[in-house]
Structure 1
Amino acid sequence: MFLSDGATSGHLDCSEATSRLVDEEVKQLLDSAYRAAKQILTDHREQLENVTRELLIKETLDAATFNSLITNS
């Protein structure tokens, strides 16, 4: 899977073991980033819901409105 674009002939410029190691590291980085993003959204859920609610009503928000929604929670 390592850096495969689907158009290669299957030839790797590194060993299978190295490719597996890179894939594992990439997976760990992605998992860590996912957990961090999820935590940020959880920690700021009230602000997120305020912005969502306002967007459903108005469809767009200017910077001042957005800032007031996220700071007044």
Structure 2
Amino acid sequence: MLLSKGCATIKPEAKQHVEMAEETREVRGRIPKDLKIAFEIACARLEATQTAALEEAIRDWLQKKESSEKQH
């Protein structure tokens, strides 16, 4: 089933069995509007969830910070 909204067509995500092995928490923050829009478009284009993209970005940021701390 496809849903239409304006000129965009939205495909519902296929239901997948996902095990919640680890407990999750919500993260909040404020970013510039244009960055948020670009992020939403990129996630949609790549068919990635925003949650998965944020988790990847946070892990990359942490790794980068840990690496720079080791160099100092």
Task: Give TM class, smaller chain.
Answer: 0.3 to 0.5
Larger strand fraction of residues? 2
Greater relative CO, 1 or 2 (CA 8 Å, sep 6+): 1
Question: Rg bigger for which structure?
Answer: 1
Per the normalisation by structure 1, the TM-score is: 0.37
Per the normalisation by structure 2, the TM-score is: 0.38
